[in-house]
Amino acid sequence: MAANFGRKPAFEEALLRHHAVSRHAPAAENYADAQHPAILKHLLPFIWPKGRPDLRLRLVFAGLALVAAKAVTMAMPIAYKAAVDTLTALSQLPGGSTAAGVLAAPIALILAYGAARIAMTGFVQLRDVLFTRIGQHATRVLSTGTFRHVHDLSLRFHLERKTGGLQRVLERGKISIDLIIRMGVLNLVPTMLEVLFVCLLFGFYFGWQLVALVLAMIVLYSWWSFYFSERRIAIRREYIEADVEASTKAVDSLLNYETVKYFGNERWEAERYDSSMAKFEQATIKTYSSLAVLNGGQALIFTGGMVLSMLFAARGIAGGTMTLGDFVLVNAVFIQLYQPLNFMGMVYRELKQALVDIEAMFELLGEAPEVTDKPGAKALSVSKGAIRFENVSFAYDEERPILRGVDFEVPAGHMVALVGPSGGGKSTISRLLYRFYDVKSGRILIDGQDIRDVTQETLRAAIGIVPQDTVLFNDTIEYNIRYGRVCASGEDVREAARLAQIDGFIQQLPLGYKSPVGERGLKLSGGEKQRVAIARTILKAPPILMLDEATSALDSFTEKEIQTALDRIAKDRTTLVIAHRLSTVIHADDILVLDKGQVVERGTHESLLAAGGLYAGLWTRQREAEEARRKLAEMVQDGALTVGDATPGPAHGVKLVAAQ
């Protein structure tokens, strides 16, 4: 069994290596309240990843390309200025003096200007290509790590969480990771570098006055961008909440398509979705309206700074201290500066919005799993598969105890059945054995090992379950059967299907084992889904078997065949059966009757009937109900009773079921 568990996946090793997030974050840590700098701190190691010299080398070359691109960007307006000044001087020469040698200088400057533009584009594209692998590596590691962490979270978390909203959080987080890293490195850093180059250029050519004017414009532009972006964060959060709400309602409604149809509530679902979309509509309008105000203010500040700088240059020309080329240089620099400055405002805005988007993802990473492996937990060693519940007590909520001192043993190779009224704690026992929850007191042992002292992975690998409610993946029948043992061969899959009495049905399908089962397996009947679940567990071949009303969705004839197959599979395996229909467990080695969280009776079928207690009462009622259904079915078949003869009332439903 140990051979099934290899080394950690590459993404998990990278995640732990970077120390960016932990699969088992401390319970006190709450990323929803974390400051944005803390989130950025978690992302920084992915820019310079440990153990990846290839990515670090890419970052170095990307940095060199970035500096080269900005240097060439500053060279372009200088070449433009020199060309204008040269052409201006040529225009003042006497006619006929524009010989080829005289024109060589401006032509060379014009060609240099064109070459600089091409070089700038080339360096920018090279920078993007080199950095793409770094950004995508970070996105993959963090996204996959978050996905794994969500699977590590407790059953309680998933029962309280809405699937649509959770999926949306993961999707937004994935997009935001790439955006934050790419925007921060490829846009914010180049913009700061270009502002520095512009100040040096203007200081060299025009003195401190124009530098001061440019810096004042940049400071005012930045203040407006940051100030208004902060004000838009509340609007962005409202937008995200409305988007998640609409997505959640849509996914939930579509997953329950049949229920919607059964009750004819299409209009009601559409109205619920429309109410969420109305909120999303208003939030979107606010988002774009505020964006228009932000962009308008930025354009006003930038244009004002550019006009004042050009007036400064025009005065210099009038005073004879500047040339026409200087005027063109100021204009060209400002035109080039507009894009990075606009990027700076956009980068800050997008970074803030991405940080808001990613908050929910980091909140997920901050969710501590309710059930965790102890430090140094060992693999479960199953020699015989004996199960022991020692005085186990458990409650989902402290005010409502579920199990009260449950104590029993399932000897190796034996079958023990759990029966009793609904709400007695039968399903809770299966969840505790799987360690979806930890017991409040007492302990659960497998071959003498406390299941809290072994790894969850090896514990669950040792147990196979056929649940009462089977949910299948939206894939093929073969995929769903092979899920029991993903490395199984095609012949192993078919043998499991034969043992589960479903191979004949599959062979009749046009696509055979490649037939899709649909969302949650809705293309299959309840009995067909349950037989797929049985085949899946047969393929897993675990030493411990758990059957949770495994034949509840089957007809009587098929049930007997499947029951025979299950008995054959359960032979020499430790088997725990949860049953509602007592007729399916009369052959069990021991039957435990649970009521109100306690074992109130135990024994064989015959001894429990002889005792005349709760089990005997349940058996009598079930036999009477089965006899009544049989008689009704015979009457309908003989024509003595029709559905039209059924009178309204509580018995009406029974007659309809019998008629069917």
Do residue 238 and residue 290 come from a single domain? yes
Do residue 118 and residue 237 come from a single domain? yes
- Cα–Cα distances (Å) from 69 to 72, 116, 276, 332, in that order, read 5, 9, 46, 16
Give the rounded distance of the alpha carbon of 496 from its chain centre: 32
> Which range marks the domain in which residue 579 is found?
376-462+544-610
Do residue 456 and residue 495 come from a single domain? no
Q: Is residue 3 part of a domain?
A: no
Which residue, 317, 332, 366, sits at the end of a domain?
366
**174 vs 179: CA distance, rounded Å:** 9
Positive or negative torsion for Cα 174, 175, 176, 182: positive
Structure tokens at 375: 């430090």
**467 vs 533: CA distance, rounded Å:** 8
For the entire predicted model, the pTM comes to 0.61
Do residue 20 and residue 41 come from a single domain? yes
Q: Is residue 4 part of a domain?
A: no
**84 vs 538: CA distance, rounded Å:** 83
Q: Is residue 585 part of a domain?
A: yes
User: Beta 449-450 vs 441-446: how paired, if at all?
Assistant: antiparallel
Structure tokens at 335: 């035109």
Structure tokens at 351: 């970074």
Can you give the CATH number for the domain in which 43 is found? 1.20.1560.10
Structure tokens at 505: 């049905």
The total domain count for the chain is 4
Instruction: Please report the pLDDT score of residue 153 as a whole number.
Output: 77
Do residue 392 and residue 480 come from a single domain? no
Helix (H) or strand (E) holding 598: strand 598-603
Helix (H, G, I), strand (E, B) or coil at 521: helix
Helix (H, G, I), strand (E, B) or coil at 411: coil
**363 vs 356: CA distance, rounded Å:** 11
User: Angle 291-292-295 (CA atoms, 0-180°, nearest 5)?
Assistant: 85
Structure tokens at 515: 């037939």
Instruction: Please report the pLDDT score of residue 454 as a whole number.
Output: 92
Residue 152 CB partners (closer than 8 Å, separation 6+): 23, 24, 369
Q: CB neighbours (10 Å) of residue 638?
A: 8
Alpha-carbon torsion angle 116, 121, 122, 123, nearest 10: 90
Q: Tokens 């700038």 appear where?
A: 120
Burial of 51 (0-12, 13-18, 19+ CB in 10 A): exposed
User: Angle 38-44-49 (CA atoms, 0-180°, nearest 5)?
Assistant: 145
Burial of 616 (0-12, 13-18, 19+ CB in 10 A): middle
Do residue 53 and residue 191 come from a single domain? yes
- Cα–Cα distances (Å) from 101 to 27, 78, 98, 105, 533, in that order, read 78, 22, 8, 8, 88
Q: Tokens 């430090």 appear where?
A: 375
Helix (H) or strand (E) holding 547: strand 544-548
**532 vs 344: CA distance, rounded Å:** 56
Positive or negative torsion for Cα 310, 311, 314, 320: negative
Which residue, 516, 541, 566, sits at the end of a domain?
541
Q: Is residue 430 part of a domain?
A: yes
Q: Is residue 121 part of a domain?
A: yes
Do residue 218 and residue 356 come from a single domain? yes
Instruction: Please report the pLDDT score of residue 389 as a whole number.
Output: 92
Do residue 329 and residue 388 come from a single domain? no
Label residues 113-151 b or e (16+ Cβ within 10 Å = b).
beebeebbeebbebbeebbeebbebbbbbbbbbbeebbe
* Per-run averaged pLDDT (10 residues), the chain, 660 residues: 39 41 37 54 73 82 81 75 73 56 64 76 80 80 79 72 65 73 71 77 78 85 80 78 82 76 79 86 85 84 84 80 78 76 70 72 75 87 89 85 89 88 83 88 91 90 83 87 88 89 88 85 81 87 84 64 72 85 84 88 89 88 78 69 47 39
Give the rounded distance of the alpha carbon of 267 from its chain centre: 30
Do residue 509 and residue 584 come from a single domain? no
Do residue 278 and residue 342 come from a single domain? yes
Instruction: Please report the pLDDT score of residue 494 as a whole number.
Output: 92
Structure tokens at 148: 């794994």
Can you give the CATH number for the domain in which 480 is found? 3.40.50.300
Strand partners, 406: 392
Do residue 390 and residue 452 come from a single domain? yes
Do residue 404 and residue 454 come from a single domain? yes
Q: Is residue 222 part of a domain?
A: yes
**415 vs 585: CA distance, rounded Å:** 9
Q: Is residue 599 part of a domain?
A: yes
Amino acid identity of residue 29, one-letter, is: E
Q: Is residue 1 part of a domain?
A: no
Contact 228, 301 (CB under 8 A): no
Which residue, 366, 398, 424, sits at the end of a domain?
366
Residue 522 CB partners (closer than 8 Å, separation 6+): 257, 258
Give the rounded distance of the alpha carbon of 478 from its chain centre: 25
Instruction: Please report the pLDDT score of residue 223 as a whole number.
Output: 85
